[in-house]
Amino acid sequence: MLHNQKWINLSRYRTAKGSNRIVDKAIEFEQVERERNWDDQIIFNGILFYVFSKILPGTTQLSFWRLDGVILTALLHAGPVDFLYYWLHRALHHHYLYSRNHSHHHSSIVTEPITSVIHPFAEHIAYFALLSIPLVTTVLIGTASIVSIFGYIIFIDLMNNMGHCNFELVPNWLFTIFPPLKYLMYSPSILHNRNGNMRKLSRSLSFSSLTMDEYVLWMIQGAKTMY
C-alpha cells in the first residue's frame, strides 16, 4: 500500500505541475472518486496469497535466493504470461466484455498509477490467475525463493504504477544508450500507444482473426513509437 501511495503522490504532483504531461488535462473529481477504493485489490491479493501459502507445499521453507528460480520466473513472465496477457487484454476489448467490464478501467482518461488496478472483480481474478503462473510454477518445482517471489511482485507493481503515470519518468537517453531496454520495461508512452493499437485492432479485426504478426506488432510498436 505504501508503494502505491508514493506513486499516487508523485503522479498527482507532476500532473498538477503540468510539465511533460502525456494527456494535457487535469484529473477530474469523478475519476478520483471512482478510483478511491484501490485498496480492495490489495486485500483480495493478500487473502489469496495466504490461502496459497497454506495449500502449496514448501512455501514455509523458501530459500532466500535461487538463481534458477529467478531466471525461470523471468522467462515465464516474458513468454507464456505476456502472450496470455495479450489474448486476455484482447478479449477484454471485445465489445461484449468491454461494454460490460473493461470500460470501467478506461473511463480514466488521465491515467494515474492506481488506474492500473481499477477493474471489476472478475478482471482481478483473471489477472491474479495469470500473473501467479511464474510464482506457482516455481513453488511447485522447488526453485522458488524469497527474492524471486517478492521481486516479481514488486516488479509488477513498479511497472504498473510507472506505466500508468501521466508523464514520462525514464529519460530518453537511457533508451539511446541501451535500445533493448524498450522491450524489457513498461512506460506511459508505451501504455498509451498499446491501448491505441488495441482499439484499432478491435475495430478493424474480428475477435478470432488475429495473426501472430499482428500480435508481435502490438508488442513492439508501442516501444518504437516513443523513440
Q: What's the pLDDT tens digit per position in 100-153?
A: 888 988 888 888 999 999 999 999 999 999 999 999 999 999 999 999 999 999
Q: Which residue has the higher pLDDT, 37 or 120?
A: 120
In a domain, 198, yes or no: no
The C-alpha atoms of residue 2 and residue 76 are separated, in whole angstroms, by: 28
In a domain, 22, yes or no: no
**The model's pTM:** 0.81
In a domain, 174, yes or no: no
The C-alpha atoms of residue 50 and residue 67 are separated, in whole angstroms, by: 25
In a domain, 105, yes or no: yes
Q: Which residue has the higher pLDDT, 40 or 77?
A: 77
Q: How does 89-98 read in b/e, with b if 16+ C-beta sit within 10 Å?
A: ebebbeeebb
In a domain, 222, yes or no: no
pLDDT(197) > 50: no
Render 116-152 in DSSP notation, one character per residue.
Answer: GG---HHHHHHHHHHHTHHHHHHHHHT--BHHHHHHH
Share of the chain above pLDDT 70, in %: 84
Confidence band, pLDDT 50/70/90 cuts, at residue 53: very high
Q: Does an H or E element contain 202, and which?
A: helix 188-204
Per the structure, the complete domain to which residue 108 belongs is given by 2-14+39-55+62-169
In a domain, 223, yes or no: no
Q: How many domains does the chain have?
A: 1
Confidence band, pLDDT 50/70/90 cuts, at residue 72: very high
- The torsion defined by the Cα of 13, 15, 19 and 22, in degrees rounded to 10, comes to 150
Confidence band, pLDDT 50/70/90 cuts, at residue 170: confident
In a domain, 70, yes or no: yes
In a domain, 99, yes or no: yes
What is the per-residue pLDDT for 192? 62
Mean pLDDT of the chain, nearest integer: 83
